[in-house]
A and B are shown apart, each in its own frame.
Chain A
Amino acid sequence: MLTGLLPKGFLTRNETLVAGVILAFCVLATLSDPLFFTVTTVSDLLRASIVIGILAIGAMVVLISGGIDVSFTAVAVFAMYLATRIALGVWPDMPWPMIFALAMVAGAGLGAINGLFIAFFKLPTLIVTLGTLSVFRGFLLTFVGSQRISDLPPEMRDFSRGVLARGTTEAGNFYSIPWSILALVAVIVLTWFMLKKTMLGRSIYAIGGSQESARRIGINVQWTQFFIYVYVGALAGLAGIIHGSVGRMADPFSLVGLELSVIAAVVLGGARLIGGYGTITGTLLGVVLIVLVQTNLIVIGIPTIWQSVTIGMLILLGTGVPAYRAKRAAARAG
């Protein structure tokens, strides 16, 4: 009866699987610690998801187009550090929207370098971004600076203090939801609109489905690919500057190393490495799951040292189960 009300294929979707695992995790956690399911946990979870969420949406767009980007963490930290240095050097009282814009422009510029190699020199995306990951990071540490800056421009600190809601629960736990959540919301809405409603967004799916076919029906594959990497770079810049502001420190050694967790979240959410598939809902669910595991594993009785093992097993299960099912279905069809 219920199945009639659900969208077609609901039960076999990756999204449903991930949502189920999240639910199971929450039930287990609440059983072992009744204080788990509180406003505080939810607000912590949201705060922790903002930067990873923005990065994951960028990574998802690349995966949909049939590519893979591992350089976005280096882009994020480069853009964040560069924008902070410029603000401090040129105009310490620079308003935060301007610093943010600066970081996004820097990110877009670095993304354009990826795009140039990928779209116009037609090099494999993994190779290019593996290369630029090292180059961007090395360039940052060598030429821009390797000092942690904790004395941020005052506007950045002001931004990090801004909250949509804050308070203390009856049990005495503090919670707050920062402004930066709005940035995530804006990125979600913008990317959703682009992917679902614009010809550009549909051509990203088309290129992921078959680049050759896309070329044959007249999609400008080169410029679309170039745009994708610029867009992802700008998102990375935004994520980076939020990370710096909220953490109240511009640390050139941060973020890099996170890229595989982000890609894992996207893949868990149903994007396929071969391209053409990926939804924002799935990606966000994947992010929530990864963040849950990273921050709350201890609550359900699994020691934190098992964190990476757990994430790895989730990826194996989350991507393996649907793949195995598809294989069985194909075998039955003969």
Chain B
Amino acid sequence: MANPDAYPTTEPLIDLRAITKRYAGVTALDTVDFTVAAGEAVCLAGENGSGKSTLIKIISGVEQHTNGDIYIDGAKVDHNNPRIAAAHGVMVIFQDFSLFPNLQVYENIAYPSQLGAQNRLFDRAAARKMASAILSKIGVDIELDARVESLPVAQKQLVAISRALASQARLIIMDEPTTALTEREVARLLDIIRKLKDDGVAVVFVSHKLAEVLEVSEKVVVLRNGKKVADGDAKDFDTKSLAYHMTGREVAEAAPEPIQAGATTLMQVEGLSKTGVFERVSLELKAGEILGITGLLGSGRTSLAKALFGLVRPDAGTIHFDGGKVPLGDPLAASKVGIGYVPEDRLTEGLFLTQSILRNVAIGRLDNHSKGGLLDMGGLLNEAADWISRLKIKAPDIAAPVQSLSGGNQQRVSLARWLSRAPRVLLLNGPSVGVDVGSKADIHDIIRNLAKNGIGIIMISDDLPELLATCHRFLVMKDGRITDELASASTTEADLARRLAS
């Protein structure tokens, strides 16, 4: 672990002065100043494409800057590279954590430090000792011998942090640290960050979902289109002002229009149970209604959503759709009656990443364009292209692979595929996970418009402001049961957070 006395504390750890970075004519960063002092936590906010990734790459030495100066520990560094940055204790924790799923926890933590020491032999005993010392120092209890692939996301992140500490980290840069965590896990992460800061370790959070980390941060820096548009004391920022600086516009979320009087009940669920996952869940959804379901990770919210679409087979209960009974555990039957499901993890469950945007939308409608067993390719692709423009998917080329799109646009592709099937009920699981502020508001608009047109929507999310801004009504799940039913109009975020955590 870093020893704060060993380095000058008067100089900032990292001091970037008027950094400019150009890629083949495109200016990714334009005269940006950025400093981090020892023991300081800084939020680096910005939407996708704002230049925050480029800035991180320059600090960690992966990319070279075009103009400007870099000072590390007060000394000018002309040609930064990953080895120099690492030698100064600059560690990046990527969103995917860069861990080795097949190796055990202690080896993941200690291996890189032994690699850095240029050992020839792997010292298992020393590795275990080091890993256990670091885990207990940050107050985390993870089994040393567990394979990383068997850990939940939050623990993987802690292993990644421990690994950075094992390599004498003095500045830990965390890319999207809270996206995959529940509120409770975020709280625990913040506790650990506080401990690190007390030890003189600096932290930079890179994210577009920063409200949660504001409370442990000293400083906020906002980038937009490669320029620094705001910086200052973290106390002076809140979710709203961050969103304003990031997007350059006021992102006002209007509450959904009330449900039309006399709307029919579309979906009726009674006594849905699956042993050990969820129990006796009953709910009702009207046409044009947006119903939210929230709960901590492990509360059964995702399993329930999957059960409604037939991806998980419940043990008992019934689902009625428009008066008719829907067979349980049969996604094809569910989609036939008009239920659509947009999964939580669009990267692994929803999209064909290497396939084109157009094909990703078109795949949902193959059956409807079949003529005597042959495919009417022209009709299929025209329809898909139409949906791509209706959802305003920003893509230079609809033949480009989906993985080239930003999170918000990927989510729209996912939505477009389902909307083209004209669903009457849409289940949205975490519709704005990994989506930046501006696109998020757009996606919420799309959702509200769909409801206005009579589609029933069930939205599963742990993003409380999102639920409050879009839903008419929502259900709180805890340990597989629905514990509360609330109307958005009469609930506040604080009240909801309390009900979730209690």
Residues in A lying within 8 Å of B, measured CB to CB:
8, 196-203, 205-206, 208-210, 212-214, 216-219, 275-277, 332, 334
Contacts of A8 in B (CB 8 A): 145
> Interface on chain A toward B: helix, strand, loop, or mixed SS?
helix
Interface size classification for chain B: 20 to 34
Known: A197-B121, A334-B277, A334-B303. A205 touches B312 (CB 8 A): no
Complex Cα spacing A196 to B276, Å: 40
Contact A209 B101 (CB under 8 A): yes
Q: For the complex, what is the distance from the CA of A275 to the CA of B277, rounded to whole Å? A: 33
State the total of A-B contacts with C-beta under 8 angstroms: 65
Minimum CB–CB distance for B315 against chain A, Å = 13
Extra inter-chain contacts (9) besides given A8-B145, A199-B122, CB under 8 Å? A198-B122, A199-B115, A202-B111, A205-B100, A205-B102, A217-B98, A218-B83, A218-B112, A334-B312
The complex places the Cα of A269 from the Cα of B86 at a distance, in Å, of 39
Q: Is the CB of B302 within 8 A of A334?
A: yes
CB neighbours (8 Å) of B276 from chain A are: 332
Take A202-B107, A216-B94, A334-B312 as given contacts and tell me if A276 and B101 are in contact as well, using a CB distance cutoff of 8 Å. Answer: yes
Known: A217-B112, A218-B112, A334-B312. A199 touches B102 (CB 8 A): no
In the assembled complex, the Cα of A199 lies from the Cα of B303 at a distance in Å of: 42
Residues of B within 8 A of A203 (CB): 115
Q: Quick check: B100 and A213 within 8 Å, CB to CB?
A: yes
Residues in B neighbouring A198, C-beta threshold 8 A: 120-122
Highest count of chain A CB atoms <10 Å: which of B100, B103, B114, B276 = B100
Interfacial residues of chain B within 95-114, with CB under 8 A of chain A in the complex:
98-103, 107, 111-112, 114
B103 near A205 (CB under 8 angstroms)?
A: yes
Bound: A199/B118 CA distance, A: 9
Instruction: Tell me whether B119 is interfacial, beta carbon within 8 Å.
Output: yes
Nearest 10 interchain pairs by C-beta: A276-B102, A209-B100, A213-B98, A209-B102, A217-B112, A334-B303, A216-B98, A202-B122, A206-B100, A199-B122
Is B232 close to A, CB under 8 A? no
- Using CB atoms and an 8 Å cutoff, list the residues of chain B in contact with chain A: 82-83, 86, 94, 98-103, 107, 111-112, 114-116, 119-122, 145, 276-277, 300, 302-303, 312
Across the interface, do A276 and B100 meet the contact criterion of CB distance under 8 Å?
yes
Q: Report whether A197 and B122 are in contact in the complex, using a CB–CB cutoff of 8 Å.
A: yes
With A198-B120, A202-B107 already in contact, the answer to whether A217 and B115 are too (CB < 8 A) is: yes
- A206, B120: Cβ atoms closer than 8 Å: no
Across the interface, which residues of B come within 8 angstroms of A202, CB to CB?
A: 103, 107, 111, 122
User: Looking across the interface, which residue of chain B has its beta carbon closest to that of A193?
Assistant: B121
- Determine how close the nearest CB of chain A comes to the CB of B104; give it in whole angstroms: 10
The reply to whether A212 and B120 contact each other, CB–CB distance below 8 Å, is no
Closest to A197 in B: B121
A179 to chain B, nearest CB (A): 30
Report the minimal beta-carbon distance from B153 to chain A, rounded to whole angstroms: 13
Q: How far is the CA of A75 from the CA of B394 in the complex (A)?
A: 52
Output the least CB separation between B353 and chain A (Å): 16
Once the chains bind, are A212 and B98 in contact (CB under 8 Å)?
Answer: yes
* Listed A/B pairs (23) with beta-carbon separation below 8 Å: A8-B145, A198-B121, A199-B114, A199-B115, A199-B122, A200-B120, A202-B107, A205-B102, A205-B103, A206-B103, A210-B98, A213-B98, A213-B99, A213-B100, A217-B98, A218-B112, A218-B115, A276-B100, A276-B103, A277-B102, A334-B277, A334-B303, A334-B312
Residues of B with C-beta under 8 A to A201:
122
**Bound-state Cα–Cα, A85 to B103, Å:** 45
Question: Chain B residues near A276 (CB, 8 Å)?
Answer: 100-103
B121 contacts across to A, CB distance below 8 A: 197-199
Kindly state the separation between the CA atoms of A201 and B114 in the bound complex, as whole angstroms: 13
Residues of A within 8 A of B116 (CB): 218
Given the complex of chains A and B, what is the CA–CA distance between A208 and B149 in angstroms? 13
- Taking CB atoms, residues of chain B closer than 8 Å to A214 are 100
Q: In the docked arrangement, what's the CA distance between A219 and B119, Å? A: 12
Residues of A within 8 A of B303 (CB): 334
CB neighbours (8 Å) of B112 from chain A are 217-218
B120 in contact with A209 (CB, 8 Å): no
CB neighbours of A217 from chain B (8 A)? 98, 111-112, 115
Give the nearest-CB partner of B127 in chain A: A202
Docked complex Cα distance between A206 and B86 (Å): 20
Distance between Cα atoms of A116 and B312 in the complex (Å): 47
User: In the complex where A8-B145, A218-B115 touch, is A210 in contact with B122 (Cβ < 8 A)?
Assistant: no
Q: Which of A199, A210, A334 contacts B99 (CB 8 A)?
A: A210
A212: which B residues are within 8 A, CB to CB? 98
